[in-house]
Structure 1
Amino acid sequence: MAIDRGNGTTTQLLTLINVSATKARKRKWILDDARPSEKLNKRRNVHFGEVQVNEQESTSPETQKENTEGIATIDAAKDVQETEGDDETADESSADLYESHFGPNSSDMSEMKRQAVENRSWKTHRALYGKLGGAVDYVLEAEESMAEKREKPAVTDAIPTTANETVERQAHAFHEKLAALQDDVLTTLSSNKDLYVTRTPLDSQQLIREAIALHALNHVTKKRRRILKNNERITHATKSGAPVPEDVQDQGFTRPSVLILLPFRSFAQRWISALTTHTPSPSFQVENRSRFESEYGLPPGAVDKLLAAEPGIYPKDHVEMFKGNVDDSFRLGVKLTRKSVKLFAEFYGCDIILASPLGLRMSIEKEKNADFLSSIELLIVDQMDALTMQNWEHIQFIISDLNKLPKESHDVDFSRIKPWYLDGHAAFLRQSVLLSAYETPETRALFNNSLLNVAGKVRTVCRWRPVPVPEGVDQNFVLFDCSSPKDEPDKRFQHFTTQMLPGVLKSAVQSTNTAIFIPSSFDFIRVQNHFRKTAGVSFAVLSEYSSNQDISRARQAFFGGKKSFLLISERFHFFRRYKIRGIRNLIFYGPPDHPQFYTELLSYPFLDDGVEPSDVTCKILYSQYDYMRLERIAGTEGVSELIKRSAV
């Protein structure tokens, strides 16, 4: 596929199509449980020149006989060369962006750029990235003057196409928009910049995954094809008695080059579906497919209650997040060969790793090394909003282990390792793709501090509208004074316990039927302990650690009036999404991360008969450091007024 960059150059994208795909029109195979996906732009129908070569294997005749595992052979290399034909000249003349960034002599790598990244010498520019919308483009100061001379990569609404290059879309305009979104994602990723999509609507998540999956396949394909060509050159030189070529640095320390971090096994299914969408059938095979469906799907005979329930019983976002297998401890190696995708490949012999942060961390701690992460060139983190509801420390642990020098050699040929790997500079070329439904301080900090790509990075921005709330409910936003983010948890707790809670306890109306929603798990434990020490206060607890029996007892006690207060953690509501009855007074210890939770909790009092808006009270405790959360509730325009208030 050739993508017009708008500045006179094109980028060649290779899909996972086998060598003879141009000679036979083959129907694409998709996992049975996956919805039929729209094909991306037909310009991607170029030749799959990928034949598997293991970096650790030599080019001896004995090694080359292992063709059953997809290992490269001279004949296969000739097939690739024959089928490439017309593309080879185009690749060379178009200054391939993959080679310029990830090649042995990367034009993006320099001492000046590395120092600029370490010093965070970024210059930011506002840009429009087509259907991705507005974004902030981060460019190094050293590159700023050059960037101003170049046209922005995707300032138009869609990439121009001809009649023969039209995307096969459905008839209505909605799918036209989504197809254009895929093109704009691919265009942005082809620049080798990091991409942080801060808002991914439900209706476009899978299409964005498919575009990113195509980019990942393209990355692996180009890397493997370069290794194949160099193997051929070395073998030819050895047979002819000529000197062995010296410019064959084409590998990392280990084979895996793509890492995809996911929250649940069900999302691994969706990514495998996205990856295999672009593979041909019937000749192409997915090895260990039955085992994958067994281990990553629901057990035989199990019924998914979210999908079986009537529409509207569960919120749509909850169904999309938790349908299928929600186990959060897994790791899966995927090996791409000439005629198959092999699932459950050994980590040091695979190309792509799909894992949850917990599962990957457990593997690293068990093996006591993370060498298989030393050569990751493309990092993809999906559903970061869900990962923040798990344990964010696992993400930080994994990121800190990326692109470190390995502890062992793993039989690698050091003469073929790219120089910037040996110099320990791989992190400065790694491309990262972050996807989230919304931003949090943790995800922004990851973007700011852990992404070191010298090619630059892009962060999308969006404008939020105020969330809908029941008409007539009085919302009281209470600002407390705090001048340092380090002191924020203590200041919040102090204001709640010394000013807000005593007033609530003195009120005959607010001292009963009061639910307190607490976003942070650490704050939740702190408030819970304070209630235990407060004499004469009856309360129940709903946390992510509550058993089904504990949840039932707490809800009944609160609804029946036996407990005056109900403490609810955001993680409980995220995982359970129960409708709570009996609420008349609602206190938000802090604004929720998920804006829809605010709407839902304010609607729960009206589950009971005879409740009027005047019967419901709502207080929201916040500081200036809650800007991101408040923006999603009050809207982009309304949040400024809230932050500018004087603390009471």
Structure 2
Amino acid sequence: MAIDEASTVTTKLLTLLNVSATKVGKRKHPFEDVVGKPSERLNKRRAISFSDASGGPGEAEKTSASTTQSPEPASKEGEHEKGEEVPEEAEGDSLHNVDDLYESHFGAKSTLTTETVRNAVDHKSWATHRDKHGRLGPVITSFPDVDGAAKPTTSDGTAILDKVKQPLLDRQAKLPREVVELQNDLLSMLSTQRDLYITRTSLDMHQSMREAITLHALNHITKKRRRVLKNNERLAHASKAGTPAPEDVQDQGFTRPSVLILLPFRSFAQRWITALTAHTPSPTYQVENRSRFSTEYGLPQGAVDKLANAEPGTYPRDHVEMFKGNIDDAFRMGVKMTRKSVKLFADFYGCDLIIASPLGLRMSIEKEKSADFLSSIEMVIVDQLDALTMQNWDHVQFVFSRLNQMPKESHDVDFSRIKPWYLDGHAAYLRQTILLTAYETPETRALFNGSLNNVAGKVRTERLWKPVEVPEGIEQNFVQFDCTNPKDELDKRFQYFTAQLLPAILKSAVQSSNTVIFIPSSFDFIRVQNHFRKNLGVTFTVLSEYSTNQDISRARQAFFNGKKAFLLVSERFHFFRRYKLRGIRNLVFYGPPEHAQFYTEFLSYPFLDDGVEAADVMCKVLYSKYDWLRLERIAGTEGAARLIKRGES
């Protein structure tokens, strides 16, 4: 059947419904080839689509999506891989009577993505209400603002399969009550299939939250796999009996991977894999390629982790937790889940879960010129959003823009097994996204507001912030500049700094030396540095994320000895290095730091020198009303509100 190139996507998808997949064993075909080929019989079904998968084709093609992965041979049609027996009804839920929200949300008969609801989501028309959800605290729930849309629901966490949840229950028996309550509250929230944005993760509870989230992901994969294997059994029985194949076997997407976890460093991949395999204890489960994983994601042999082995208090705790272990930020790995094994380094098109950094995933996509393995992602987990903002945020946006797009090739999928809402292009409206961050930034809030389109709704936690602790007696001067348009904020800040704040500092004999200027944005850092270089006749030096160890040593020494009057410091430098700086008497914050603890630390550095009194230290913070999120973490919620209103009075 020929289709004109100008035909709409909808026309192509309707055609795909009437075409069976290409034969297993041949190369993967572009959609255009599949659409253009006549079929022997409309809606022809194979006896078994794939034997080992939980949501993708039966023949995984070799791919070089990851330079660290070795492709695995896919199971042949009709064969069951070891450990992938068809589940017995006694082991879990009846696949025809699943009574939890998973089936109503991700099932083939899901009716959530109506045109009215999708239009409301596309136009960002959300109804919101405030509530409290146990240990998660106050939450803001948003759902499509239309009649008939799925309204916020509750779940007691029983949607987790008993066999999957048992290892967690065994561990919870030994955990403090508050940890158990947090995990259970988190699971009950996740079971509603709504998006969840946790805006303030604590160091003490982070690992417990990982365990709950990985359990939710494993439960999702397991339910999907059971549905596929059960349908494989039904198709096989129909084939043997010579009866028509059952019609209700839509149970998969265009490709197999259904869960994506985005992380900043390899060390965090280790922590998430540890949390995942905690739910698959041996000897019941085998973890394949564990030794290779330890080699590639741990520290090189003989290397010493100076952060992990340092005396307590040498480095801030949050810095140790962030940077201990392997901090390479370019990685990607497929994880394949079966009933009795967890296979690490599985081929992307043969895995259930992809764990990667945004940079590593982008490199893979650009190298292969294809993001087809992201076409059927049903759950996205992003951890340490605060760290990702300190890397290159464009990589995160790049990955999100490639999620749930129509694949370029068929990858030998049986289109008669694909869920209808995939073919309709509605997968993005059902995808569940889970975001974790230590604190909010405008970038992370924009991601939540703009890239999360779950028709089941989305939830954001909120907290009241208290003022940070600073050395007693230091006078903190918050200087507000006027700005009515966020698009003009960068220029307005620079103009106020160069025309008013900096000239006043240079006129003072005390403030024009031993002065650190802390600059949160890398763009602003370059701009201010160029201004110092071209327009000011003062001595200065810089510390940025691009400074070498030799550069850092020279800059610190020159500033401490008074050879340089000004020291420009970027927030990314402090995030990655966390050096203690001596010789500071005056502090100018070009903008409030993203990380409130950085503010506290810089105000404490003058007292590293002997004989310094609080009255000797000057502190000025330049801000606008658009700095609310950062200002709130420093001055507290109530204090920030007063500072913002001060400029409006």
Q: Does residue 65 of the first structure (1) align with residue 79 of the second (2)?
A: yes
In the other structure, the counterpart of 1:206 is 207
Deviations 1:371-403 (A, max 9, x none): 000000000000000000000000000000000
Deviations 1:224-265 (A, max 9, x none): 111101111111101101001111111100000000000000
Q: In 2, Cα distance between the equivalents of 1:274 and 1:299?
A: 22
Deviation of the 1:646 alpha carbon: 2.5
Q: In 2, Cα distance between the equivalents of 1:636 and 1:205?
A: 24
Q: Does residue 127 of the first structure (1) align with residue 134 of the second (2)?
A: no
The question of whether the paired residues in 1 share the 8 Å contact of 2:52 and 2:81 is answered with no
Stretches of 4+ aligned residues off by more than 4 angstroms: 50-54, 91-94, 143-146, 150-155, 164-172
Deviation of the 1:99 alpha carbon: 1.1
In the other structure, the counterpart of 1:504 is 505
In the other structure, the counterpart of 1:263 is 264
Amino acid of the structure 2 residue aligned with 1:64: G
Give the alignment's TM-score, normalised by structure 1. 0.86
Structure 2 stretches lacking a partner, 5+ long:
1-50, 60-73, 158-165
Deviation of the 1:536 alpha carbon: 2.0
**SS at 1:533's partner residue?**
helix
In the other structure, the counterpart of 1:88 is 93
**SS at 1:63's partner residue?**
coil
Which structure carries more relative contact order (alpha carbon 8 Å, separation 6+)?
2
In the other structure, the counterpart of 2:330 is 329
Q: In 1, Cα distance between the equivalents of 2:156 and 2:547?
A: 48
Q: In 2, Cα distance between the equivalents of 1:440 and 1:526?
A: 21
Q: In 2, Cα distance between the equivalents of 1:625 and 1:392?
A: 19
In the other structure, the counterpart of 2:360 is 359
Deviations 1:35-77 (A, max 9, x none): xxxxxxxxxxxxxxx964673228x995233524x5x5xxx21
The question of whether the paired residues in 1 share the 8 Å contact of 2:167 and 2:281 is answered with no
In the other structure, the counterpart of 1:41 is none
Percent identity for Structure 1 against Structure 2: 68
Deviations 1:92-130 (A, max 9, x none): 556331111011110322111111111212100001111
1:37-76 paired onto structure 2 within 5 Å: 52=53, 55-57=56-58, 63-65=77-79, 67-68=81-82, 72=84, 76=85
Deviations 1:394-435 (A, max 9, x none): 000000000000000011111111111111110000000000
Deviation of the 1:141 alpha carbon: 1.9
In the other structure, the counterpart of 1:197 is 198
In the other structure, the counterpart of 1:641 is 642
Q: In 1, Cα distance between the equivalents of 2:533 and 2:648?
A: 29
1:568-587 paired onto structure 2 within 5 Å: 568-587=569-588
Deviation of the 1:282 alpha carbon: 1.5
1:334-483 paired onto structure 2 within 5 Å: 334-483=335-484
The question of whether the paired residues in 1 share the 8 Å contact of 2:168 and 2:279 is answered with no
Deviation of the 1:165 alpha carbon: 12
Amino acid of the structure 2 residue aligned with 1:83: A
Q: Does residue 103 of the first structure (1) align with residue 107 of the second (2)?
A: yes
Q: In 2, Cα distance between the equivalents of 1:144 and 1:588?
A: 49
In the other structure, the counterpart of 1:304 is 305
In structure 2, the CA distance between the partners of 1:83 and 1:443, relative to structure 1 (3 Å rule), is same
In structure 2, the CA distance between the partners of 1:506 and 1:88, relative to structure 1 (3 Å rule), is closer
In the other structure, the counterpart of 2:143 is 139
Q: In 2, Cα distance between the equivalents of 1:129 and 1:108?
A: 24
Q: In 2, Cα distance between the equivalents of 1:266 and 1:588?
A: 32
Deviation of the 1:151 alpha carbon: 6.7
**SS at 1:455's partner residue?**
coil
The question of whether the paired residues in 1 share the 8 Å contact of 2:105 and 2:430 is answered with yes
**SS at 1:406's partner residue?**
coil
Q: In 2, Cα distance between the equivalents of 1:491 and 1:619?
A: 17
In the other structure, the counterpart of 1:28 is none
Q: In 2, Cα distance between the equivalents of 1:643 and 1:291?
A: 53
Amino acid of the structure 1 residue aligned with 2:81: N
CA RMSD of aligned residues (A): 2.2
The question of whether the paired residues in 1 share the 8 Å contact of 2:299 and 2:326 is answered with yes
The question of whether the paired residues in 2 share the 8 Å contact of 1:480 and 1:647 is answered with no
Q: In 2, Cα distance between the equivalents of 1:166 and 1:343?
A: 22
Aligned residues: 577
Amino acid of the structure 1 residue aligned with 2:454: N
Give the alignment's TM-score, normalised by structure 2. 0.86
Q: In 2, Cα distance between the equivalents of 1:439 and 1:209?
A: 19
In the other structure, the counterpart of 1:318 is 319
Q: In 1, Cα distance between the equivalents of 2:230 and 2:98?
A: 19
In structure 2, the CA distance between the partners of 1:62 and 1:317, relative to structure 1 (3 Å rule), is closer
Amino acid of the structure 2 residue aligned with 1:117: V
Q: In 1, Cα distance between the equivalents of 2:447 and 2:247?
A: 38
The question of whether the paired residues in 2 share the 8 Å contact of 1:123 and 1:144 is answered with no
**SS at 1:272's partner residue?**
helix
**SS at 2:587's partner residue?**
strand
Deviation of the 1:83 alpha carbon: 3.4
In structure 2, the CA distance between the partners of 1:510 and 1:93, relative to structure 1 (3 Å rule), is same
The question of whether the paired residues in 1 share the 8 Å contact of 2:57 and 2:413 is answered with yes
1:234-245 paired onto structure 2 within 5 Å: 234-245=235-246
Q: In 2, Cα distance between the equivalents of 1:295 and 1:381?
A: 21
Amino acid of the structure 2 residue aligned with 1:252: G
Q: In 2, Cα distance between the equivalents of 1:494 and 1:279?
A: 58
Q: In 2, Cα distance between the equivalents of 1:145 and 1:365?
A: 38
